[in-house]
Amino acid sequence: MTPNSQPRQHSVGQDRVRVDGPLKVTGTAPYAYEQRVENPAYLFALTSDIAKGEVSRIDASAALALPGVLAVLTHENAPRLVPAVKELYILQSPKVWYRNQYVGAVVAETPEIARYAASLVRVDYREEAHDAEFRVEHPEKYRPAFVNGFMRTDTKKGDVEAALSGAEVVLDEVYTTPQENHNPMEAHSMIALWDREALGGAFSLLGERPHLTVYDSTQGASVTRALLASVLGKLPGQVEIISPYVGGAFGSKGYPHAPLLLVTLAAQLVAGRPVKYMLTRQEMFAHVGYRPETHQHIRLGAGRDGTLRAIAHEVTETTGKLREYAEQTASATRVMYAAENRLTSHRLVPLDIGVGTFMRAPGEFPGMFGLETAMDELAEKLGMDPIELRVLNEPDQDPEDDKPFSTRNLVACLREGANIFGWENRPAVAERQEGEWQIGYGVAAATYPNQSQAATPTWARVRYEGGLYVVGIAASDLGTGAWTILGQIAADALDVDVEQVRMDIGSSDLPFATLAGGSTGTFTWGGAVSVACIQFRDKYGKHPPEGAEMRGRHQMPKDANKFSRHAFGAHFAEVAVSRVTGEIRVRRLLGVYAAGRIINPRTANSQLIGGMTMGLSGALHEESVVDPRFGHVVNHSLADYHIAAHADVPDIQARWLEEFDPYYGPQGAKGIGEIGVVGLPAAIGNAIYNATGKRLRGLPFTPDKLL
């Protein structure tokens, strides 16, 4: 180092502007539907008018006679599929599982022709009696084999009933959350093109084979290719998924849904032409999953000093009959608080409705609303400060499996948040008023587990080209900042400036990557990138030859499974409630998190306040109303399904503690995409109680519940 030179500044931990930002704000980042293809055709879907039964007749003659119509796809002419995934096994029979299920599609020269032609297709049905009403005591309620994330369905430790019977203070209440639907800015969209590719090498004499290219709005190009190929009966190499930019997802784009198969089958009927399909906002409520409705029976038993003796969290929730989806609603309760006697369970009510799927913080979001509201109620019964009740019951190790925590800084989050928020100024219940407005403070804890996806190998590749280190991995950027932070990780591993790194992501032809879900992207993809880059640097040094290349695989740290691995946080809310109208205004939100090492403070802040905003949206607005008479969501548009707007969030702040967790991987980063949403509705609900003295135990908190 020369006397005037400066050591290279590390990229990880630096506040860096998103590298994809200029493209997005100028409208030049191509999303799936905007990809340039030659001579596209357009699809409009045909959906069922009944909730259960079968199609008895389809008359497409009028549609086919319309100029510009290229094909009408139905179960009568659909290419055959492999029954690998029931949700994707579409148009293989006349059976109807739920209202608005796909029964066909029209492909035409323009979107307008396709839509009009679809109105000319006559579909008759043999209707059967259906059941779309959620009832806790449903006669067909059952115990699933496991819940989402392959977590245990039930857990039990000690004797809960005896402990509750002997407890000095008992809380016994029911908490409910409604069905919610995903509404990312970019609706699900895709372009499918079938063509032929020549076989190479030793197989060249065999000629050509079918090849499918899909531009898809997906959270995981590698996973989508694997599942799509299996259902189509093709080899993975015959399918290419391209998805460099995704306009939000929140879980709905994690695994392929029926729309992807619909456009893929339709494209086979017009082989050689790309077929474009973007769901309408109404279709989003029928075809891409939802967060199931839950009923949560929570019982807490404690001594007069606040020490918990028993925790029971028993959940009943909905699932569609076509494919089971069991949300892990009680899973967070298993790690939050110390108690010798513990019980959690999950039961499903099968209904003639569509297929549920994960939605940001599946399980933890509804479950922590129930638990953290219950903890506030218990604190009120005990006459204790709700923060002190949580601190008193902080466990020394995982209460369920007795493993030590890799890191656990929940108490520090609560203390730091209380100091920043001004918790000492919290009024007594229904004490503070400003004109017609009643003012209250609330708090709730947050947690999110480490879902390593270790069973699925994630790889990255680094290649030196034209003076740049090109790092390739089939990761997806949903607006989370992957384009930016993976480059920062690569730069530090290579010991070069970040400007010397170019990321290549969003294609299934790149090294296999797990999907962007479960807050796993940064430490999983980052781990693979780090390994590949370190091995590259070790082999080629500071002056690699042109074309030098290295691949590396992410692996969980040694002994990681010996620890209970979770991120933690605390939410604080100040609300004002009108005594005249019942209107709820959230004045302030604060989140303090212990989520491992923060790779990029700018993108981290965006993720956390985005999660908090979504939590507020679920608290005050979001509810999908299923009409049991017909089996569909009646408020299936953004005019009726309300989500939070800027005016709902006047003051929102996210802070984090310095933390490094070596058992998450070389970056020490835990993942922040979901913890921001977990527990926040409980903080708002607890603030409403502090303001008004009225306890709300069901989401959303609408004015009618306060009048």
Taking the C-alpha atoms of residue 592 and residue 54, their distance in angstroms, rounded to an integer, is 52
Q: Is 654 helix (H, G, I), strand (E, B) or coil?
A: strand
Please state the separation of Cα 202 from the chain's center in Å. Answer: 43
Q: Cβ(376)–Cβ(442) under 8 Å?
A: yes
Which of 470, 575, 459, 448 lies closest to 518, judged by CA? 448
Q: Rounded CA gap, 648 and 542, in Å?
A: 51
HSE value, Cβ hemisphere, 13 Å, CA-based, for 649: 21
Active site residue 674: yes
Identity at 638, one-letter amino acid code? L
DSSP state of 703: G
What DSSP line would sit under 381-415, residue for residue?
A: HHT--HHHHHHHT--SS-TTT-PPBS---HHHHHH
- The alpha carbon of 649 is separated from its chain's Cα centroid by a whole number of angstroms, namely 22
User: What span, in angstroms and rounded, lies between the C-alpha atoms of 191 and 266?
Assistant: 11
CB neighbour list of residue 283: distance below 8 Å, 6 or more residues apart: 45, 47, 100, 187, 259
SS3 helix, strand, coil % of the chain, rounded to 5? 30, 25, 45
What tokens were used for 524? 């999983």
Question: Of all helices (H) and strands (E), which one includes residue 190?
Answer: strand 189-198
Among left, alpha and beta (phi > 0; psi -120 to 50; other), residue 506 is: left
Which CA distances in Å does 180 have to 295, 333, 704?
14, 21, 19
Q: How far from each other are the two terminal CA atoms of the chain, in whole angstroms? A: 72
Cα separation, 327 vs 398, in Å, equals 21
Burial of 704 (0-12, 13-18, 19+ CB in 10 A): exposed
- Burial of residue 177, with CB atoms counted within 10 A of its CB: 0-12 exposed, 13-18 middle, 19 or more buried: buried
Hey, is 185 helix, strand or coil? Answer: coil
Catalytic residue among 186, 372, 574, 674: 674
**414 closest CA partner among 391, 434, 441:** 391
Residue showing tokens 């969501």: 633
Maximum distance among all Cα pairs of the chain, rounded to whole angstroms: 85
Distances (CA, A) of 98 to 114, 255, 259, 289, 605: 24, 20, 15, 13, 40
Paired tokens of 425: 């100024």
> Residue holding tokens 């607006």?
479
Give the count of alpha carbons within 13 A of 32, CB side only. Answer: 35
Helix, strand or coil for residue 224? helix
Other C-beta atoms within 10 Å of 201: how many? 5
Q: Catalogue the active-site residues.
A: 674
